[in-house]
Amino acid sequence: MSTTTVTKLASGLTVVTDAMPHLETASLGVWVGAGSRDEADAEHGLSHLLEHMAFKGTRRRSARAISEEIERVGGDLNAATSVEQTAYYARVLAADTGLALDIISDILTDSVFDADELEREKAVIVQEIGAVEDTPDDLVFDMFSQAAFPNQPIGRPILGTRERVSAFDRGAIGAYLDAHYVAGATVVAAAGAVKHDEIVEATERLFKPFAASPAPAASPALYTGGDARQKRRLEQAHIVFGFEGKSFRDPDAYAALVFTNALGGGMSSRLFQEIREERGLAYAIHASHWSMSDTGLFSIYAGAGGRDVAELCDVALDCLARATRDLTEEEVARARAQMKVSLFAALESSGARAEQMARQLLAHGRLIPREEVMAKIDAVDAEAARLAGRAMLSGPATIAAIGPVAKAPDPDRIARRIAGV
């Protein structure tokens, strides 16, 4: 029997809860359907800065008071920014859900964006940008997205640039909030020891300042593929190559995920066995598939010594090409089982349940029952997985590489290797 309840308020804001009576705590938060891909050029990095500034004080609470109030009841408060969404969430005892929602609404509707706090937080983000630049296995994925979607918000790093972040002022933050933090783009989600009617009543009262309007449409993504590399004096080359993947609205999205997991999602996968276990060419090797509302990215990441780069890439590309032709039912069955265990394990957490509900409502406009997800995973056989793999490999390639990367292939060589030329 379903324990979830959804209510859409007159303003357009959606409230969803999942009662888990065996728990004593609750996870709840606000998910807004706006992220880095919704930023204009002059706003690059603003979504992430806004997430940081949300905790820096309101007219009722100082920055210190926000942290002390939530921690006085043993709770914790956090936020996260992605390409398409921004989330503000808390975990508290059941009796303190009202306090947590009050604090989150306060920071989203009545923050003061103090000028001194803004300057300090901009400096912190500039340091965060530097930390990513010093972490090649993180930076290479930013480079990969930029090469795949050049000169587009969807491909830009979420953190922004030093120059853009340093230039933001309170006016820019206010304008972005007014445009994107609206009721039609917002979901309040709660799971655990929660009562739906109480969450609805509090949401109606606390989020009245959110404009009763729909979310503005993001610019459509245009995947082109490309090549981005940095030569650095590093012990390892960090390489990501791949192709356009499937949107989470695409009928073949689950087949693409199964293909990806069978290829490089675990220790029994083809890539791990061939690259690491049999040849010792890389310590880390895995495949990923990331779905967004109108596109996706399929990729393979590997870290290897400079002298092994050429062989590593050739072997990985050969594994990839063969998988589109001869992936077996046994491999697909393992991948399906791994996906289902990961899904069920994640949903044992109230925080993961709240997040999943919010993301499904923002992405699909409805909750997707677990039985439906399981059925879609189980419906993927080897032929469907192979077809999804072939479809992804039919488009232009993208590669990003950092370190001793002189022997890393360019997109044309990747395409030729995949084609067996």
Instruction: Identify residue 420 by its one-letter amino acid code.
Output: G
pLDDT for 2? 60
pLDDT for 216? 82
Task: Look up the CATH number of domain 226-419.
Answer: 3.30.830.10
119-127 contacts, C-beta under 8 A, 24 or more apart: 121/49, 121/52, 121/53, 121/56, 122/49, 122/165, 122/166, 122/168, 124/52, 125/45, 125/48, 125/49, 125/52, 125/159, 125/160, 125/165, 126/162, 126/165, 126/166
From residue 33, alpha-carbon distances to 47, 184, 214, 416 in Å are 11, 9, 10, 39
Residue 87 · residue 29 · CB < 8 Å? yes
Residue range 305-340, pLDDT digits in tens: 989 999 999 999 999 999 999 999 999 999 999 999
Output the six-digit token pair for 305: 């010594």
- SS3 assignment, position 98: helix
Instruction: Tell me 274's DSSP state.
Output: I
Output the six-digit token pair for 65: 């008071």
The beta-strand segments (E) located in 2-107 are 4-8, 14-19, 25-32, 76-81, 86-93
Mean pLDDT per block of 10 residues along the chain (421 residues) reads 87 96 96 96 96 93 96 96 97 97 97 94 96 96 98 96 95 93 97 97 96 86 97 94 97 97 94 94 94 97 92 96 97 96 87 96 94 96 98 97 94 92 57
For the chain, give every domain's residue range: 4-206, 226-419
Instruction: Tell me 365's DSSP state.
Output: S
Task: Give catalytic residue positions.
Answer: 51
Asked if the domains at 4-206 and 226-419 fall in one CATH topology, the answer is yes
Task: From 144, 151, 140, 142, select the one nearest 48 (Cα to Cα).
Answer: 142
pLDDT for 421? 57
pLDDT for 418? 93
pLDDT for 316? 96
SS (H, E, C) 283-296: CEEEEEEEECCCCE
For the domain 4-206, what is the CATH superfamily, name and number? Metalloenzyme, LuxS/M16 peptidase-like (3.30.830.10)
